[in-house]
């Protein structure tokens, strides 16, 4: 049995802006990767937005949604299960969760990880191919970087990640399925390595009987590892996540490295995962998914291998701390650079005199601090 896994996806933002409604072809961006999807018996991905647009919740800047008709793309690729446990599935409230699940169910796609209450959110999804049945469970990490809505007894949201809950859910699911996949929205954005706690948790989940741990949320690729009978995919990055306009009017752009992605194909038997291979691909500027070829393909596969190698290091903790510090500095440099670009844009649009009239002593001090911080990070 061959299983296929992808990372995060949604079908809004710049993708909609670049395609006029009269010329929208939901299948077109995926025609070059569809043959790869056809190689698998079962396909699993993470849907990072509701298939619905409703009133925007207050104070949320990064608001995602996919039009209901984008279900055509999901159906075209043949997804069997979509996990909804993430920090954007509740972007359009209770109605968004209800509408999304209804659309998926009507189109024969199972889903799990979110619901109008905790009991509904925690129900596993089941996918069948012949006599093979796989259960999928979906959870979100309880940290500020994920910041997902947690379902309550009567409120919509997702299922919190906890090993004791996962242990019970796996045991229950295995009564109805041959194998269990545990899908986790976790980790830290733009980090190329999982934290030591994530590694320990993922291995424990495999030891509890899961076949695959399917990770997502960092928006970049991370490594993978075989553990006993199972497979751990720490992060498959963005499968299809266009840039978008935030609610404050600013344009959000993913870093260039987020355009590099991969899907994982793994062959399984009753005893566990037999083999796994990654298929590198990228999102082109005109919003097409294309498999990597030639040197690009070789570099991508080498990168995944490079990201996987340190996972078994005896001193992984120190490796992780150094990486985290480096990423935090990189992200701060990006933010400061963006601030400087915005300052320059405002000055150019307002003209020298107009910009000067709007300046206050506080603004001058803030601008000077931004410039000094940027120079310090660049130099050191």
In this structure, what is the dihedral angle of CA atoms 336, 340, 343, 347, given to the nearest 10 degrees?
Answer: 180
pLDDT of residue 377: 47
How many CA atoms lie within 13 Å of 316's alpha carbon, on the beta-carbon side? 16
Residue spans of the domains in the chain: they are 2-312, 321-379
Q: In whole angstroms, give the CA distance from residue 41 to residue 63.
A: 33
Pairing mode, strands 238-240 and 2-9:
parallel
Q: What is the largest CA-CA distance in the chain?
A: 74
Q: In whole angstroms, give the CA distance from residue 23 to residue 262.
A: 28
CA angle 208, 150, 317 (to 5 degrees): 50
Residue 60 main-chain phi, psi, to 5 deg: -100, 120
pLDDT of residue 121: 98
pLDDT of residue 332: 82
Containing 147, the helix (H) or strand (E) segment is none
**Length of the chain in terms of residues written:** 380
Pairing mode, strands 260-269 and 2-9:
antiparallel
CA dist 360 to 346, 357, 366, 367, Å?
15, 8, 10, 10
pLDDT of residue 341: 67
SS3 readout for 25-89: CCCHHHCCCHHHHCCCCEEEEEECCCCCCCCCCCCCCCCCCCCHHHHHHHHHHCCCEEECCCCCC
Containing 370, the helix (H) or strand (E) segment is helix 361-379
Name the class of domain 2-312: alpha beta
Task: Say which residue the tokens 């599935």 belong to.
Answer: 89
Give mean pLDDT in consecutive 10-residue pieces for the chain, a chain of 380 residues. 97 83 77 97 98 79 93 97 98 96 98 98 97 97 94 98 98 97 97 97 98 98 97 97 92 93 96 96 91 94 96 95 92 73 66 56 53 51
CA dist 113 to 97, 123, 136, 306, Å?
11, 7, 9, 31
CA angle 328, 329, 335 (to 5 degrees): 90
Neighbours of 302 (CB within 10 A): 11
Cα end-to-end span (Å), the chain: 51
pLDDT of residue 286: 85
DSSP lists the bridge partners of residue 125 as 136
- Please report how the helices 196-207 and 163-173 are oriented relative to each other, as an axis angle in degrees rounded to 10: 30
Residue 370 in tokens: 């931004």
How many CA atoms lie within 13 Å of 257's alpha carbon, on the beta-carbon side? 17
Residue 178 main-chain phi, psi, to 5 deg: -70, -40
In this structure, what is the dihedral angle of CA atoms 26, 27, 28, 32, given to the nearest 10 degrees?
Answer: 150
Q: How many helices (H) and strands (E) does the chain have?
A: 10, 18
DSSP lists the bridge partners of residue 44 as 5, 81
Pairing mode, strands 2-9 and 272-283:
unpaired
């Amino acid at each position: 049995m061959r299983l296929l896994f992808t990372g995060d996806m949604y079908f809004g933002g710049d993708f909609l802006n670049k395609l006029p409604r009269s010329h929208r072809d939901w299948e077109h961006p995926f025609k070059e990767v569809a043959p790869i999807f056809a190689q698998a018996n079962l396909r699993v991905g993470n849907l990072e937005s509701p298939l619905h647009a409703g009133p925007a919740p207050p104070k949320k800047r990064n608001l995602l949604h996919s039009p209901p008709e984008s279900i055509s793309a999901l159906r075209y690729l043949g997804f069997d299960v979509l996990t909804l446990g993430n920090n954007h599935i509740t972007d359009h409230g209770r109605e968004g969760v209800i509408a999304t699940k209804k659309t998926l169910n009507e189109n024969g796609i199972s889903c799990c990880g979110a619901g109008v209450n905790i009991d509904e959110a925690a129900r596993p999804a089941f996918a069948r191919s012949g006599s093979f049945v796989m259960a999928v469970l979906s959870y979100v990490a309880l940290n500020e970087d994920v910041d997902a809505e947690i379902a309550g007894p009567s409120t919509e949201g997702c299922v919190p990640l906890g090993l004791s809950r996962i242990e019970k859910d796996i045991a229950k699911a295995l009564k109805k399925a041959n194998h269990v996949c545990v899908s986790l929205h976790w980790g830290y954005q733009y980090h190329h390595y999982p934290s030591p706690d994530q590694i320990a948790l993922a291995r424990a989940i495999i030891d509890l009987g899961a076949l695959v741990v399917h990770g997502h949320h960092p928006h970049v690729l991370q490594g993978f590892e075989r553990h006993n009978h199972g497979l751990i995919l720490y992060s498959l990055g963005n499968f299809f996540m266009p840039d978008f306009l935030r609610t404050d009017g600013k344009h959000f752009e993913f870093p260039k490295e987020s355009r590099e992605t991969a899907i994982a194909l793994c062959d399984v038997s009753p005893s566990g995962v037999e083999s796994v291979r990654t298929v590198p691909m990228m999102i082109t500027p005109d919003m097409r998914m294309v498999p990597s070829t030639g040197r690009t393909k070789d570099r991508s596969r080498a990168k995944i291998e490079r990201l996987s190698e340190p996972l078994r290091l005896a001193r992984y903790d120190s490796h992780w701390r150094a990486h985290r510090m480096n990423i935090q500095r990189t992200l701060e440099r990006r933010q400061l650079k963006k601030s400087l670009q915005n300052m320059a844009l405002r000055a150019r649009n307002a003209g020298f005199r107009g910009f000067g009239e709007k300046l206050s002593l506080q603004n001058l001090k803030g601008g000077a601090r931004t410039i000094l911080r940027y120079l310090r990070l660049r130099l050191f």
